[in-house]
Amino acid sequence: SYVLTQPPSVSVAPGKTARITCGGNNIGSKSVHWYQQRPGQAPVLVIYYDSDRPSGIPERFSGSDSGNTATLTISRVEAGDEADYYCQVWDSSSDHPGVFGGGTKLTVL
């Protein structure tokens, strides 16, 4: 089945830009979605279809996807952005189509 690889942790100072990567074989040919999970809470969709934002998600959140890497970018990071972030794809050709990355813990210094 398809494998998504994320760094376990990323740290960033408030006001700076955080970039969280998601690696996968030719992931640029797939649509990537991102979820934010604050401690003790359910995941929330923050980016879908590589770079679209659901209603209510700040413009500070953006996404890109090319080659073997997809990236979630969070600009002007705030303390409230501290959370775990998961990437996800749908591998329709697989018998295990729902695939998540291992998650990245974003720490705001």
Partner 1 sequence: QVRLQESGPGLVKASETLSLTCSVSGASIRYYFWSWIRQPAGKGLEWIGRIHTSGRTTYSPSLKTRVTMSVDTSKNQFSLNLSAVTAADTAVYYCARDLEAAAGEVNWFDPWGQGTLVTVYS
Shortest distance (Å) from residue 6 CB to partner 1:
9
Closest separation in Å from C-beta 77 to partner 1: 22
Cβ partners under 8 Å of residue 13, min gap 6: 77, 108, 109
Contact at 8 Å (CB) between 5 and 25?
Answer: no
Alpha-carbon torsion (77, 100, 33, 72), positive or negative: positive
Site for partner 1 (CB under 8 A): which residue of 15, 78, 98, 107?
98
**Min CB(15)–partner 1 separation in Å:** 29
Residue 26 sits in the site that holds partner 1 (CB under 8 A): no
Nearer to partner 1, 69 or 91 (CB): 91
Interaction of residue 44 with partner 1, rule CB under 8 A: yes
Q: How far is CA 80 from CA 15, 27, 29, 76, 77, in A?
A: 12, 29, 32, 11, 8
Options 1, 39, 79, 80; binder of partner 1; rule CB under 8 A = 1
